[in-house]
Amino acid sequence: MIIGLTGENCSGKGTIAEYLVKKGFVYYSLSDAIRDELKKDKKELNRDNLIEKGNELRKKHGPSVLAKKITEKLSNDRNYVIDSIRNTHEAKELMELKQFTLVYVTAPAELRFERMKQRGRENDPKDYIEFLRLEEAERKNKDDKKQNIEETVKLAVKTIVNEDDFAKLHDDVDHLLAEVSGEFKVSRPSWDEYFMSIAQVVATRSNCMKRKVAAVIIKDKRIISTGYNGTPRGVRNCNEGGCARCNNFTESGKNLADCVCSHGEENAIVQASYHGIAIKESTLYSTYSPCLLCTKMIINAGIREVIYNADYPLAEQSFELLRNAGIVVRKHK
């Protein structure tokens, strides 16, 4: 989640940023890049110099330069709050980020002026007329490389009006997060997707020359056994010539009795038995639907559900037997 903040002076952007930092968000301000440049130039960090240097950077490197400097610092494993977005190009650059939400934070001008007086910065306007003059200078510019808050706030998709106490502001932010996290919630795989994808990885361990198949057995949403197809334990691997039928690429469905490879479902069941693990009432995920031999083992092992990814040839008899045994069979889509 990336929350971008835009709005007028003393509207409460900094307060919101501080609140989000307490919730684990990482804070960045587009002004940080300007401050770094002023420090290099050994200039005072005041509002006039910040505005002047910001406009200079935009003119020299493009109107979205400050946003680009920030995006280089972001990673996919954190939540961020980004302050001081005052230019439409900056906003649009950040809006390219998938999980970015631009929030307009505002408050009545009189209230914002009172807040400015309370913070007591040396270079802040001392009277309301001067305050309004500063507001107007930052509000709109024909030069797209300068600050243009009026046009920037039009791009915001959420608004927070900060004219009450901290409790109300924090409550508004909490509601905002609930809305945003719903819109930009990181998608999680379903249990079927999760376990089937694991089965597909297990299949890569197969040494069979003809087809790589694997199965995982699940109980209480925990993997209790895995198996992939290949020659029996201690026998030369199929891909090393261990199975003549597979190495001759015999036509599918023929000479099955000559195949010495164990199937993925068979190995998953046998491995559980080998290690003394009960699989009664479990669920089996397989990259292919089970053959007749594996079907009989599934039934007698007490497995209650079979989810498969692709159809195995000659599977109709297996499906009928599973249904007759009261086992749930589903194809993963």
Residue type, 115: R
**For residues 246-255, b (16+ Cβ closer than 10 Å) or e, as one string?**
beeebeeeee
Which member of 265, 266, 281, 305 is catalytic?
A: 265
Q: Length of the chain in residues, anyone? A: 333
Distance CA 127, CA 117 (A): 9
Q: Which residues does 140 contact at the CB level (< 8 Å), separation at least 6?
A: 148, 149, 150, 151
Distance CA 63, CA 140 (A): 15
Token pair 């919730």 is at which residue? 23
Q: Is position 8 annotated as part of the catalytic site?
A: no
Q: Residue 210 region, left (φ>0) first, then alpha (ψ -120 to 50), else beta?
A: alpha
Catalytic site residues?
265
